[in-house]
Structure 1
Amino acid sequence: MGVLTAVLLGGRALAAETTYGVGTQALPLQQSGGTARAMSMGSAVVAVEQGSASLLWNPAGLSKMSCKEIAVHHNSGLGDTVQEIFIFGMPLGTVKEEGKGGSMGGLAASIGYVNYGGFTGTDATGQETGNYNAGDYSVSLGWGKEFLPGLSGGVAVKGMQSNFASKVYSTYTTDIGLLWKVVPSLDLGVSYSNFSLYDKIGEPASGLRLGAGWTIDKHWLLAASSELQNKAMKRIQLGTEYLIGNVDEKANVLALRAGYQLSYPSRELGALAGLTWGLGYTLTKSVAIDYAMLPTGDLGISHRVSLTYKFGCPKKHRAPAPVAAVAAPEPVVLKSIDLEDSHFDFDSSKLKPQGMEALRENVELLKKNPKAQVRVAGYTSMSGTKEYNQRLSERRAAAVRDYLVAQGGIKQSRIT
């Protein structure tokens, strides 16, 4: 099994390379998160929201999914090695707002495959024994949910199988994680990866991941994390992402990314080993493509490409446009009733018969036009003082109004 592991890692071990127990390096590529965005940021994404790809790093991040997602992650390089990961994720329950996740959390599942190409086998004396093919398969299922405001937890169960010639080896592990939004701009994350449930190949590298993500503004993200693996590599990871474009609508957005990964003990793969960079482009709110390039010294360059499609997203609630206040329309006055001094008894508000006749004509007109209103004005002769005439005109106007209401059946609200 030790010989097989060395072959899968891409060649002979370097003279200064530290040797670990054989089991700690089982299924090496299946343990690496194969997303272009994560790898271009130096893998410093333990506390970074990644949608369905959170399944590969910190399952607590699945609690933030507000859309359904289908994603394909491709990795090529390191000789003839090719890796493919397919992920489907979806929120569970009601999604009230984008970025808040489902009321019952989020669920994601993945299928992965690594093809290491063909190999020539030899026996203990160096004689060739034939050609062999090698490959790994993996499946995983994870769930995350926000249990307290700002605090989410998640768990993922994984199964992995390695095939070499006629041999088949398998292992089952689990990941657990927490994600805490300390303040709107700062997230902290922790996860434990590859806790062994059952294995027939040797325990995969497991250990603790700690991370932080700082959103400086809506364009710029800084991230840092570390890996403390049992009996294996220790890593410090730094990454950044800068967005250019319409980030509010999440369309036509260009992402510039870079990262660095410092490993201990050093893998001595060359001066650029550990440095990562990449690009991403969000074509629409639904479609995004990402690319990452990872120099690995003498082993060449690893290229990663991710394609993500989102659908079933909640509609963004827009505040209604302010409506200008509309002044109430002036009442429609069909006719103004003007009664002269001769329509009333002298120095009185009592109507004469000719005054009543004039009002009856207006009553008929008002009944034929039920939406029309009537304006009543009272007049007096020029004799008498101004104050006395004003009071008399007001009494005469009131007498006309009373007649229209009592005798004509006109609503008082129609009379001004």
Structure 2
Amino acid sequence: MKRILIAGLLIIFISINALAYNRGAGVTVGSTLLRGQVGAAPAALGGAYTAFAEGPLSLRYNPAGLADETRKKLFLQYNAHILDIDRSDIALTVPLNYGAFGISFSLIDYGDITRTTTINKNGIGIFSPKDYFLKIGYGRQVSERMQFGGTIGVYTLELDQDARAEGITADFGLKYNSPIDNLILGAGIKNIGTKARFYFEREELPLLFVLGLAYKPIPQLLLLVDGELIDGEGSVIHAGAEYTVAKRLKFRVGYNGENETDNGLTAGAGFATDDLSLDYAYIPFGEFGNSHQISLEVKFGKPVERKAKVIERRVERIETLERKPEPLTDTEQVIQTPIETTTAPEEEKIDIQSMKDKSVQEFSSGRFESALRLFIELETLTPTDYDLKYNIATAYYSMKHYEEALNEYGKYLELVPSDDEAWLYKGYSEYHLNRINSAKHSWRRALEINPDNEYARAALSQTTNE
């Protein structure tokens, strides 16, 4: 059934291209600025990034991707384009308690062009056209599986000192984490806005609608497809594939149907650490030359502890700001995992680590049931890893199975009684079960261990005043 659905979705995207491929002869104003590829990774993937957009690149491809942000990110790009055209981009995203905010600035320099007239065709000087684009955006989680975001931007197209066009444009996007494992769908509408005006003429923006999917058949392989319908010009297909080696090195190939000067093929590579990613893209344009794109993304600052809205009110007045729980990863352990006395085979270690990575990924994507199954399976393989008991409790809590969560937090606290976070969520679970006195006791224990736990203090204060 899964394969049938995936095949059906692929057919839909291919059909978008087959239905109306009737590209207009002219290029609408601002095409290079508004439709140019931002980020070497998406460029190497043929521009297929609607369903996989994240971080600062969400501002260009799908603002719904901002909802995933938990750390500040700075993005820098330089693109040595064809025909002496240079493009530079800078963007910043900042996570908030609910969603994330982003801002970006783009500059395209078309180089020096000889100014000619009907009388003097040899030239009477030079002019240097430039485009500027400032954009802000916001995205957030709107349901367990759905994310939504939007951007608004101000652009300036400067043909010459006395020939400028300015306008406002907006984008909106959705991302949906499907029930099918590792399948994400994306959709968006872009370039809604005012017409660009040169002197007395106004020209339309290249309004477009886009659908995309991202699928990982295996953990190392990412497949991407976008179907783009451009108002007045027809439709375009973008596709790409990324293969990861040793979790750090990425190789990419793609197809960009918008590139009519060559066969549309693209390629590139990237290297990523926990705090930095460096990417390169190579895009051939036939007789016009080749485009080389380099981009850098840096993460900084502490992760934002998201505060989730309390939807279900078990007591008359509950306004406690509950922090959204997260599973413990290898770098977020509250205790040191005991060292096994026997060394497992290398192949088994790799399998277990892959399962851990998969479980955290499933949780972060909102697939709590799938994450829970993996946590339980991992616990049977590594019974001395106490963090897995915490993760099992966290998954139950996120699914609002408070009785099971309470039971699992209790088991974990028998082994690690000094974890104030576990006492905090044990108290939340008891509160949702209307066991107010027990909840107060748990929050007091959290404050005894860590007097700076503001969430436990706020919860205790509000329940005391009720």
TM over 0.5: yes
Question: Partners of 1:27 and 1:258 in 2: how far apart?
Answer: 23
Q: 1:30 Cα deviation (Å)?
A: 4.0
Paired AA for residue 264 in structure 2? G
CA separation of 1:206 and 1:168: change in aligned 2, threshold 3 A: same
Question: Partners of 1:187 and 1:137 in 2: how far apart?
Answer: 32
Q: Which moved more, 1:31-40 or 1:308-317?
A: 308-317
What TM-score do you get using the length of structure 2 for normalisation? 0.58
Match in the other structure for 1:77: 81
Greater share of residues in strand: 1
Match in the other structure for 1:176: 172
Q: 1:141 Cα deviation (Å)?
A: 0.4
Q: Indicate which of 255, 265, 271 corresponds to 1:275.
A: 265
Q: 1:220 Cα deviation (Å)?
A: 1.3
Match in the other structure for 2:206: 205
Question: Partners of 1:36 and 1:195 in 2: how far apart?
Answer: 25
Question: Partners of 2:215 and 2:118 in 1: how far apart?
Answer: 54
Question: Partners of 1:300 and 1:233 in 2: how far apart?
Answer: 26
Question: Partners of 2:195 and 2:228 in 1: how far apart?
Answer: 23
Question: Partners of 2:26 and 2:249 in 1: how far apart?
Answer: 43
Q: Indicate which of 97, 100, 105 corresponds to 2:99.
A: 105
Match in the other structure for 2:281: 292
Matches within 5 A, 1:54-203: 54-93=58-97, 104-125=98-119, 127=121, 128-166=123-161, 167-183=163-179, 184-197=181-194, 199-201=196-198, 202-203=203-204
Instruction: Please list the CA deviations of residues 169-192 of structure 1 after superposition, one character each: whole Å capped at 9, or x if unmatched.
Output: 112100000000003411000000
Question: Partners of 1:298 and 1:244 in 2: how far apart?
Answer: 34
Question: Partners of 2:251 and 2:275 in 1: how far apart?
Answer: 19
Paired AA for residue 293 in structure 1? Y
Q: 1:49 Cα deviation (Å)?
A: 3.5
Question: Partners of 2:153 and 2:36 in 1: how far apart?
Answer: 13
Match in the other structure for 2:296: 307
Whether the aligned pair in 1 keeps the contact of 2:156 and 2:164 (CA below 8 Å) is yes
CA separation of 1:18 and 1:216: change in aligned 2, threshold 3 A: closer
Indicate the SS of the match to 1:117. coil
Q: 1:66 Cα deviation (Å)?
A: 1.6
Q: Does 1:259 align with 2:254?
A: yes
Match in the other structure for 2:33: 29
Paired AA for residue 276 in structure 2? V
Whether the aligned pair in 2 keeps the contact of 1:114 and 1:136 (CA below 8 Å) is yes
Instruction: Please list the CA deviations of residues 275-313 of structure 1 after superposition, one character each: whole Å capped at 9, or x if unmatched.
Output: 00000011x311110000000112110111001110124
Q: Indicate which of 26, 43, 53 corresponds to 1:49.
A: 53
Indicate the SS of the match to 2:50. coil
Match in the other structure for 1:318: 333
Indicate the SS of the match to 2:42. helix
Indicate the SS of the match to 1:53. helix
CA separation of 1:194 and 1:18: change in aligned 2, threshold 3 A: closer
Q: 1:323 Cα deviation (Å)?
A: 10
Instruction: Please list the CA deviations of residues 87-116 of structure 1 after superposition, one character each: whole Å capped at 9, or x if unmatched.
Output: 0002111xxxxxxxxxx1011100110110
Indicate the SS of the match to 1:318. coil
CA separation of 1:313 and 1:233: change in aligned 2, threshold 3 A: farther
Question: Partners of 2:339 and 2:243 in 1: how far apart?
Answer: 38
Q: 1:322 Cα deviation (Å)?
A: 5.7
Whether the aligned pair in 1 keeps the contact of 2:53 and 2:61 (CA below 8 Å) is no
Whether the aligned pair in 1 keeps the contact of 2:59 and 2:102 (CA below 8 Å) is yes
Q: Which moved more, 1:231-240 or 1:110-119?
A: 231-240
Question: Partners of 2:242 and 2:333 in 1: how far apart?
Answer: 28
Question: Partners of 2:196 and 2:283 in 1: how far apart?
Answer: 30
Q: 1:262 Cα deviation (Å)?
A: 2.5
How many residues align? The count is: 285
Q: 1:216 Cα deviation (Å)?
A: 2.2
Paired AA for residue 43 in structure 1? G
Q: Does 1:230 align with 2:231?
A: yes
CA separation of 1:298 and 1:323: change in aligned 2, threshold 3 A: closer
Paired AA for residue 294 in structure 2? V
Question: Partners of 1:115 and 1:81 in 2: how far apart?
Answer: 6
Paired AA for residue 221 in structure 1? L
Instruction: Please list the CA deviations of residues 23-53 of structure 1 after superposition, one character each: whole Å capped at 9, or x if unmatched.
Output: x233523431321000100111100033121
Question: Partners of 1:323 and 1:310 in 2: how far apart?
Answer: 31
CA separation of 1:21 and 1:82: change in aligned 2, threshold 3 A: closer
Paired AA for residue 76 in structure 2? V
Indicate the SS of the match to 2:167. strand
5+ residue gaps, structure 2, are 1-21, 304-328, 341-466
Whether the aligned pair in 1 keeps the contact of 2:23 and 2:235 (CA below 8 Å) is no
Question: Partners of 1:133 and 1:187 in 2: how far apart?
Answer: 42
Question: Partners of 2:142 and 2:114 in 1: how far apart?
Answer: 52
CA separation of 1:291 and 1:159: change in aligned 2, threshold 3 A: same
CA RMSD of aligned residues (A): 2.2
Q: Quick one: percent identity of the two aligned structures?
A: 27
Q: Which moved more, 1:307-316 or 1:113-122?
A: 307-316
Indicate the SS of the match to 1:122. coil
Whether the aligned pair in 1 keeps the contact of 2:81 and 2:87 (CA below 8 Å) is no
Question: Partners of 1:207 and 1:58 in 2: how far apart?
Answer: 13
